[in-house]
Amino acid sequence: MRTVLITGANRGIGLLLSRLYGERGDTIVYATCRRPDRANDLRSLSADSGGAVRVLQLDVTDGPSIAACVERVRNEAACIDLLINNAGILPGGVAAREPSSSAFGSLSAEAMLEVFRTNTIAPVTVSQAFAALLQAGDEPRIINVSSDAGSFSRSATGGSYAYPASKAALNFMTRCMAADLKDSGIVVAAVHPGFVRTDMGGPGAHNEPEETVPSLAEVIDRLSIEDTGGFYNWDGRPIPW
């Protein structure tokens, strides 16, 4: 059996990824979220999955929560083959961005730091905590769910401060981890899932998650060590930094 761990699995892209991997028949999914007691959709997915989707508590910005999650996985599994750092925030969503992290004149250090804590720092601390389990995995990989909003060449006008900057910094962290983990055989890549209609993307986004996320999962499957350190669109095309 393959083992996949997904962060932010209770809604949006993370929930769909959990379903897609859980349906494969050869994969155990550790579907993690901050509040399992409130994660009704994920708990019903898990209940219908015949044991393939297992719900675990994980707040990616909380050190003790990360340590407890590693321990629980270690008690059940010898390894993790794929870690998807999917959890992310854009306060207010695309449709109603909160000015405290997006509008010059209203910016607050604490609001912007929260975006960086979740989108940039957490994927690294979570990956670090699961590194030993990943090293024991089969063709292991770490996928950081980034955004094309973090591409300098695509966001030439700057944009809305904390969110795109946090994803640009995540892309750099992806390069750092890719270099450090290459000799261990762990592929590390950043991906853009498309502009999709989730709570974050809002109703004006271009695609339903079902239109892009299944292709994204196939792209993730195909990545090899030659692709490490790259930034890929949901359809597999490389995205310029």
Ligand X SMILES: NC(=O)c1ccc[n+]([C@@H]2O[C@H](COP(=O)([O-])OP(=O)(O)OC[C@H]3O[C@@H](n4cnc5c(N)ncnc54)[C@H](OP(=O)(O)O)[C@@H]3O)[C@@H](O)[C@H]2O)c1
**Residue numbers of the site for ligand X (CB under 6 A)?**
7-8, 10-14, 33-35, 58-61, 86-89, 118, 145, 147, 192-193, 195-196, 198-201, 205
Shortest gap between Cβ of 183 and ligand X (angstroms)? 28
Shortest gap between Cβ of 138 and ligand X (angstroms)? 25
Q: What is the dihedral angle through the alpha carbons of 184, 34, 75, 1, rounded to the nearest 10 degrees?
A: -60
Residue 203 exposure: Cα atoms within 13 Å on the Cβ side: 0
Shortest gap between Cβ of 192 and ligand X (angstroms)? 6
Pick the closer one to ligand X by CB: 151 or 228.
151
Pick the closer one to ligand X by CB: 117 or 182.
117
Pick the closer one to ligand X by CB: 92 or 185.
92
Shortest gap between Cβ of 94 and ligand X (angstroms)? 7
The encoded tokens of residue 74 equal 């270690």
CB-CB neighbours of 157 under 10 Å: 4
Polymer length of the chain: 241
Please state whether beta strands 2-6 and 82-85 pair in parallel, antiparallel, or not at all (unpaired).
parallel
Pick the closer one to ligand X by CB: 26 or 37.
37
Pick the closer one to ligand X by CB: 196 or 223.
196
Q: At 48, give phi and psi (nearest 5°).
A: -90, 0
The encoded tokens of residue 8 equal 């932010």
**Exposed, middle or buried, 141 (CB in 10 Å: 0-12/13-18/19+)?**
buried
Distance CA 21, CA 217 (A): 8
The encoded tokens of residue 55 equal 């719900």
Shortest gap between Cβ of 170 and ligand X (angstroms)? 9
Distance CA 28, CA 110 (A): 37
Shortest gap between Cβ of 180 and ligand X (angstroms)? 22
Pick the closer one to ligand X by CB: 185 or 236.
236
User: H/E element holding 134?
Assistant: helix 122-135
Shortest gap between Cβ of 68 and ligand X (angstroms)? 13
Pick the closer one to ligand X by CB: 31 or 134.
31
- Please answer whether residues 94 and 204 qualify as being in contact, where contact means their C-beta atoms are separated by less than 8 angstroms: yes
